[in-house]
Amino acid sequence: MLNKIKPNAYLLMVLPALILFFFFHTFPALQGIFYSFTNSRGYGDWDFIGLQNYIHVFQDARARDAYLFTFKFAVVATVLVNVISMILALGLNAKVKFHKTLRGIYFMPNILSVLIVAFIFNYIFSVFIPEIAQNAGIQALSTSILGNPDRAWIGVVIVAVWQAAAFNTILYLAGLATIDQGLYEASSLDGANKWQEFWKITFPLIAPFFTINMVLAMKNFLMVFDHIMGLTGGGPGRATESISLLIYRGGFQGGEFAYQSANAVIYFIVILAVSVFQIRNLQRREVEM
């Protein structure tokens, strides 16, 4: 009897967290979905307008451009980050001198604020490189790439790769550490060269890490925000306006609370779909290898 009255300690441990999480995370998310079916500006009266916001997002050239830019950026940056991280990890995993120092240097970008790093690169792209190019007579680079609507996205990719490669390298290093060295001895006895060794042994064995890296990198890059705030502010024009930036601008400054909520719901579905698609495909390949 007495036991029954005693409150369940486990329940008391999780209940406050559950309530707070619902209140500060789930509830606003549900609100966002709710308002996406209204014409609310974030304040004042509003009415239900059904799917109109969604229809408008699909017809909106600004939204379309933001999705195109974000995907172009995310795909290119994901591929580059994974290739570079894999090479760095293989290098750091080899028997190299100053191993700890090198690892420390290559990991450093991960601890720095993306926004401030982007500000520093902003200066490098818009002042330093043009000045060098002018002195050297290289016409193509004599103006800032950030000022060129067709090339500004490359600047965003460079900063993103510079910063994100650190984390992915560490993940690949962790993967490489799990490989049994005996396998390489056996393969070198069989006369396999380094290239075959990588594709036949190393890569299949770290395939799960490749999957995680691809999924995480893609998901993070689809949410790109800080890089762009520090580099271009979405410009020139709207050439580098990402989806997050569009939702932020439209929602807070443009009075498009409900409209950008609909955009955010679509954005959520897109990110979820991309992640699920990646995980399924990459895991299938893991099994085949």
For the segment 253-282, give every residue that binds another protein (CB under 8 A): 257, 260-261, 264-265, 267-268, 271-272, 275
Token output for 161: 């790769």
Closer to another protein by CB, 159 or 288: give it.
Answer: 159
Closer to another protein by CB, 5 or 288: give it.
Answer: 5
Interaction of residue 17 with another protein, rule CB under 8 A: yes
Alpha helices, DSSP H, located in 150-249: 152-177, 182-189, 194-197, 203-205, 207-222, 226-231, 243-248
Which of 115, 1, 50, 69 has its CA nearest to residue 237? Answer: 69
Closer to another protein by CB, 153 or 162: give it.
Answer: 162
Backbone angles phi, psi at 41, to 5 degrees: -100, 5
Interaction of residue 195 with another protein, rule CB under 8 A: no
Closer to another protein by CB, 181 or 193: give it.
Answer: 181
152/158 Cα distance (integer angstroms): 10
Interaction of residue 54 with another protein, rule CB under 8 A: no
Interaction of residue 46 with another protein, rule CB under 8 A: no
Q: Which pairs count as long-range contacts for 1-5, CB under 8 Å and 24+ apart, including other chains? A: none
**Residues 6+ positions from 132 with CB-CB distance below 8 Å:** 141
Total of chain residues touching another protein, rule CB under 8 A: 84
Single residue of 1, 2, 5, 13 touching another protein by CB under 8 A = 13
Interaction of residue 214 with another protein, rule CB under 8 A: no
Interaction of residue 229 with another protein, rule CB under 8 A: yes
What is the three-class DSSP state of 242?
Answer: coil
Single residue of 1, 24, 44, 61 touching another protein by CB under 8 A = 24
The least distance separating another protein from the CB of residue 194, rounded to whole angstroms, comes to 11
Q: How far is CA 209 from CA 36, 100, 164, 174, 267, in A?
A: 37, 22, 15, 8, 26
Q: Within 68-107, which residues bind another protein (CB under 8 A)?
A: 88, 91-92, 94-98, 100, 102-107
Residues across the chain: 289
Interaction of residue 134 with another protein, rule CB under 8 A: no
Closer to another protein by CB, 94 or 150: give it.
Answer: 94
Single residue of 139, 181, 193, 253 touching another protein by CB under 8 A = 181
Interaction of residue 32 with another protein, rule CB under 8 A: yes
**Residues 6+ positions from 209 with CB-CB distance below 8 Å:** 171, 172, 174, 175
Token output for 196: 């075959």
The least distance separating another protein from the CB of residue 213, rounded to whole angstroms, comes to 9
The least distance separating another protein from the CB of residue 200, rounded to whole angstroms, comes to 20
Single residue of 55, 108, 138, 186 touching another protein by CB under 8 A = 108
Interaction of residue 120 with another protein, rule CB under 8 A: yes
Are the C-beta atoms of residues 172 and 206 closer than 8 Å to each other? yes
